[in-house]
Amino acid sequence: MDEIDALRRMRTALAEEESPERLNMRTDWRAARWADVPERPRRGLKVPLLSTAAATAVAAGAVTVVALQPDDGAPPAPGAGGPELQGNVLLVAATNAQKAPTGRYWHTKTVMGDIYGVGKSAAHHYKVDSRQAREEWIAPNGAGRQTNIELTDVPLTAQDRQKWQAAGSPAWVRIPNPDGDAPALLDMSQASGSSGWRPFPERFYGMTAGQLAQLPTQPKALKDVLLNLKGHWHAVSSDDEKKEPIRALQGQERVRALSDVAGGLLSIAPAPPKVRAAVFRLLADIPGVKAEGRATDPLGRAGAVVSLPLKTTTPLGLHTAPEQLGTYKRQFIVDPAKGRLLAIRDLVATPPHGSRELPPGDDGQPRELKAKDMPDRFHKPGEMAAYQVFEIAEWTDADPPS
């Protein structure tokens, strides 16, 4: 069973098969930017189901519960920083990252969420955090094991929970479907469950674990190597687009690609401490990268906010940039004292508006993307649209689960 099947069956039994176009969009998203990295596996929107037998069968394995304490996604107050913000947050993080211990295995656990608006108007809606997690163990030879964990969808804040309860605490909530081909639902009652452990590709951005270990530990030399990484880096890509090096990009596209790679090297990739330190220093050298106070990540951990100079980011939610009607701002939440990237979050800069024509569907009929069909249609500027939080990212001598 491949990853898409596992996620689909763990979450719901579909009343109808997804079109090849839609399925390809999701799997292509996964492969487009991180090459062979086991990237965030985006779920499809849920259409009305016939039964939950498949979900029950998959969820019968190990169950892991991650209790999230999300904030409201608002930007931090100016000047709200702690003592570490008196210096360069990223350089402080670099100094401490290179002191981190090493071990026999690289162990990560990542929680990912997409924020959906539920309701009929901006005045009468609440937000739901649709979550999943992934845990990985990577051996020194690059061999990896991975499990995907489905988490119960929850109201985003305490106020959202009150509104959900006032609506009768529905087990299923209706959300807009940008595809417009069927109603979409989120399951607020599904228990957490794991897909089970399985091998996964050992390459990261086309590099093996051994090649990652040999990356330069000086930021300028590291940047020179990373600029040669080939991939589909454009926010808007055509079907026949060939891979190209980051070096071929200019302006914000280059910053976006470098920040994507940097985020991966600081989170799920088995990069040694000195390489991770060099990544922090590389980020510090990017013009426009700046500290913006403090915030808590969706697990409630406090950190320094580092904003990237991007008006729009890599894909949010299910859809890639051509199927977005708003713009977004990307932030890293960093623990400088521990030299760790705690989370990446995408905030709405400009809420969805207007409409855009889309290529015809499989039936040849014209399609149109409308703001009213976007998951973040009620978001205000500064509110969180999506996040990745790195609960565990460490070298360890502990043995992985059997």
Each residue's pLDDT tens digit, 238-275: 667 788 999 999 988 898 889 889 999 999 999 999 99
pLDDT in tens, 72-98: 444 444 334 444 444 589 999 999 999
Cβ 9 vs Cβ 58: under 8 Å: yes
Question: What single-letter DSSP state applies at residue 319?
Answer: B
Q: Which helix (H) or strand (E) holds 385?
A: strand 384-396
Cβ 76 vs Cβ 290: under 8 Å: no
Q: How far is CA 124 from the centre of its chain?
A: 28
Identify residue 248 by its one-letter amino acid code.
Answer: A
Which ranges constitute the DSSP H helices of 83-157?
89-97
Q: What is the pLDDT of residue 364?
A: 80
Interior/surface letters 349-363, b for 16+ CB within 10 angstroms, e for the rest: bebbeeeeeeeeeee
Cβ 369 vs Cβ 356: under 8 Å: yes
Q: What is the pLDDT of residue 235?
A: 65
Among all chains, which residue has been given the structure tokens 């991975």? Answer: 146
Q: Nearest 5°: CA angle at 266, between 147 and 208?
A: 65
Q: How far is CA 239 from the centre of its chain?
A: 23
Q: Which residues contact 233 (CB under 8 A, 6 or more apart)?
A: 33, 244, 246, 249, 253, 256, 257, 260
Q: What is the pLDDT of residue 61?
A: 31
Q: Which residues contact 83 (CB under 8 A, 6 or more apart)?
A: none
Q: What is the pLDDT of residue 365?
A: 80
Q: What is the pLDDT of residue 142?
A: 86
Cβ 38 vs Cβ 71: under 8 Å: no
Q: Nearest 5°: CA angle at 76, between 72 and 77?
A: 125
Q: Which segments within 23-158 are labelled E, that is strand?
A: 105-119, 125-138, 144-150, 154-155
Phi and psi of 344, rounded to 5°?
Answer: -125, 130
In this prediction the pTM is: 0.77
CB atoms under 10 Å from CB of 46, counted, come to: 25
Q: What is the pLDDT of residue 110?
A: 97
Helix pair angle (251-265, 219-226), 10° resolution: 110
Phi and psi of 255, rounded to 5°?
Answer: -60, -40
Residue ranges in the chain modelled with pLDDT below 70: 1-87, 179-183, 235-239, 311-324
**In sequence order, what DSSP letters do the residues of 161-192 get, joined into one string?**
HHHHHHTT--SEEEE--TT-SS-EEEESSPPP
pLDDT in tens, 263-312: 999 999 999 999 999 999 999 999 889 889 999 999 999 999 999 887 66
What region does 178 belong to: left with phi over 0, alpha with psi -120 to 50, or beta?
alpha
Residue 212 is encoded by which pair of tokens? Answer: 């990652």
Beta bridge partners of 174: 185
Cβ 351 vs Cβ 326: under 8 Å: yes
